[in-house]
């Protein structure tokens, strides 16, 4: 136990995914698999109350290219001052980038744009550095794009390109695990960590406090944080309990 206590802390990012103005969770990223959990502001305020230092905020409608929840996202960010926000979903061009940067978020995630428009993404990474993370959504070693509806190329080829561009951080999601409560893909995370010195935020599959403990054990090799979604909404554990394990 003392070895575990000496492990550096894992940063937890409770997720607030927004579709049609509501907080929702998907299963394996599929449009139409939404389960609604009410007002996103209430969800984010609750995570802040339980001690969150970060919130992972996603505009699913923007990610799927079917609309925008920009006003709701700004309201969420305003209501949880003091909590850092990682903003994701539909940031694909200068207009959406500027809106995301002006929203008050601490960090933004590029997803599809990093796969479909690599020159633009490389320019954004060069200009904004630590403010920009790239989301790599993976099935096996194939990347998923456009709200996970399209093939986005080979993970390792894209990773090499992003490393050359100077990407500062990766948010890695195993699409097959996301929203399933079947545990994170530790092997994928270990392999990612072996191929990049940059910090990795893990996403998808966390179902128990044991999963959080397993991810914390990967902190020394480069897994900096973990996004927790469905398990919190389903009541598998509280955020306060999860933070106890993550921080030790």
Distance (Å, whole) CA 40 – CA 59: 11
137 is catalytic: yes
Mean predicted confidence (pLDDT) in 140-148? 72
Among 19-23, 114-118, 173-177, 216-220, the range with the most confident prediction by mean pLDDT is: 216-220
In angstroms, the Cα distances linking 133 to 49, 75, 172, 207, 234 are 26, 22, 10, 25, 28
DSSP 8-state secondary structure symbol assigned to residue 82: T
- The answer to whether 41 touches 31, Cβ cutoff 8 Å, is no
Q: How confident is the model at residue 75 (pLDDT cuts 50, 70, 90)?
A: very high
Q: Considering 20, 42, 93, 137, which one is annotated as catalytic?
A: 137
Burial class (CB in 10 A: 0-12, 13-18, 19+), 210: exposed
Burial class (CB in 10 A: 0-12, 13-18, 19+), 163: middle
Q: Which residues contact 15 (CB under 8 A, 6 or more apart)?
A: 25, 55, 56, 57, 58, 227, 228, 229, 232
Q: How confident is the model at residue 198 (pLDDT cuts 50, 70, 90)?
A: very high
* 1-10, 13-22, 184-193, 230-239: the lowest-pLDDT one: 1-10
Q: Is 145 a residue whose pLDDT tops 50?
A: yes
**Predicted confidence (pLDDT) per residue in 2-30, tens digit:** 466 677 999 999 999 999 999 887 765 66
Helices and strands (DSSP H and E) totals, the chain: 12, 12
Q: Please give the pLDDT value at position 1.
A: 45
SS3 state of residue 32: coil
Q: Please give the pLDDT value at position 150.
A: 62
Q: Please give the pLDDT value at position 126.
A: 97
17 is catalytic: yes
Question: Which of 178 and 52 is assigned the larger pLDDT?
Answer: 52
Q: Considering 17, 61, 174, 178, which one is annotated as catalytic?
A: 17
What value, to the nearest 5°, has the Cα angle with vertex 11 and ends 79 and 35?
Answer: 60
Distance (Å, whole) CA 110 – CA 92: 7
Q: What proportion of the chain, given as a percentage, has pLDDT over 70?
A: 90
**Helix extents (H) in 68-110:** 70-79, 94-101
DSSP 8-state secondary structure symbol assigned to residue 10: P
Q: What proportion of the chain, given as a percentage, has pLDDT over 90?
A: 71
Q: Please give the pLDDT value at position 96.
A: 93
Q: How confident is the model at residue 188 (pLDDT cuts 50, 70, 90)?
A: very high
């Amino acid at each position: 136990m003392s070895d575990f206590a000496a492990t550096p802390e894992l940063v937890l990012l409770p997720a607030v995914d927004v579709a049609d103005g509501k907080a929702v969770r998907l299963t394996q990223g599929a449009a139409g698999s939404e389960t609604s959990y009410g007002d996103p502001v209430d969800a984010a305020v609750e995570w802040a109350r339980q001690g969150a230092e970060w919130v992972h905020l996603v505009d699913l409608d923007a990610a799927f290219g079917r609309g925008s929840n920009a006003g709701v996202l700004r309201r969420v960010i305003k209501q949880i001052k003091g909590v850092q926000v990682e903003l994701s979903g539909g940031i694909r061009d200068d207009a959406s980038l500027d809106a995301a940067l002006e929203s008050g978020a601490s960090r933004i995630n590029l997803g599809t744009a990093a796969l479909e428009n690599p020159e633009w993404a490389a320019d954004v990474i060069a200009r904004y550095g630590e403010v920009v993370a790239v989301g790599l959504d993976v099935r096996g070693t194939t990347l998923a794009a456009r709200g996970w509806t399209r093939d986005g190329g080979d993970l390792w080829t894209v990773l090499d390109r992003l490393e050359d561009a100077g990407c500062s951080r990766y948010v890695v999601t195993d699409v097959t695990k996301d929203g399933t409560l079947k545990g994170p893909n530790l092997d994928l995370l270990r392999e990612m960590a072996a191929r990049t010195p940059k910090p990795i935020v893990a996403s998808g599959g966390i179902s128990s406090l044991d999963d959080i403990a397993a991810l914390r054990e990967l902190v020394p090799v480069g897994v900096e944080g973990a996004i927790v979604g469905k398990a919190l909404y389903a009541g598998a554990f509280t955020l306060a309990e999860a933070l106890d394990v993550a921080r030790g």
